[in-house]
Amino acid sequence: MTREIIIAPSILAADFVRLGEEVTAIDTAGADWIHCDVMDGHFVPNISFGADVIKSIRPLTKKTFDVHLMIAPVDPYLEAFAKAGADVITVHAEAGAHLDRSLQAIRALGKKAGVSLCPATPESAIEYVLDRLDLVLVMTVNPGFGGQSFLESQLEKIARLRSMIGERLIRLEVDGGVTRDNAAAVAAAGADTLVAGSAVFRGKSNADYADNIAAIRVAAESGRVPRESSVQPGRAGERVRAR
């Protein structure tokens, strides 16, 4: 199933001194979703922000808040992020022993449920929870810091996940080092939702943000292959075609 490309700028790369203005800027610049990377300094080696920050910026846009929880334990905090205004809540497969329970809890809160996989985690880790998912997020960097380089090894995982998802209404998201230069390869492998931080917030003006979002979207659309073609992962920056 071919789904429209979604561009979800990560506010981790925004200027936190004027975070509200930055959220408004990417909204008007053409962002489809607002991606919120929450880090706890425990599950990942960095601390970002919590539910109160998300609550404070929620009134500034009607766009979907895509909240990526890089925290452990995660279950005790799901309700707080749901109440803060998250629309999609994504937890890590590696963050707890009971992934199925976490996904049930997210759904019970009335939110869409996602699961994220670190680079070293195989797609088989989520095989038995696929029918509880609205989104699968592939980390194409090791989580914890923005501005890292894209790991091309993850293109094969993206392609395998696309095959595993099949006709299910599950979005396949990619987060980490996504730019206009590799968006075509990411989309060709099967992703339909692209998170970009530094590549969006590069520049100083709303026009710069709009140009950056548009460039990533055009690149991603150019990399798509027909549904009936088999996906063959290739190097970032190259359009991937079936052989």
In the chain, pLDDT over 90 holds for what percent of residues? Answer: 86
Of 53, 26, 25, 237, nearest to 150 by C-alpha is: 237
User: Tell me, what's the pLDDT at 106?
Assistant: 98
Query: Nearest 5°: CA angle at 133, between 44 and 240?
Result: 80
181 is catalytic: no
User: Tell me, what's the pLDDT at 147?
Assistant: 74
- Beta strands across the sheet bearing 135-139: 6-9, 193-196, 171-175, 135-139, 112-117, 88-92, 64-70, 33-39
User: Tell me, what's the pLDDT at 3?
Assistant: 85
How much is the average pLDDT of 176-194?
97
User: Tell me, what's the pLDDT at 233?
Assistant: 45
Q: Are 104 and 134 in contact (CB under 8 A)?
A: no
User: Tell me, what's the pLDDT at 40?
Assistant: 97
175 is catalytic: yes
How much is the average pLDDT of 164-176?
97
Question: Which residue among 27, 37, 134, 192 is the active-site one?
Answer: 37
Question: Which residue among 40, 66, 134, 175 is the active-site one?
Answer: 175
On the question of pLDDT at 184 being above 90, the answer is: yes
Confidence of residue 205 (pLDDT cuts 50, 70, 90): confident
User: Tell me, what's the pLDDT at 226?
Assistant: 58
Q: Are 184 and 174 in contact (CB under 8 A)?
A: no
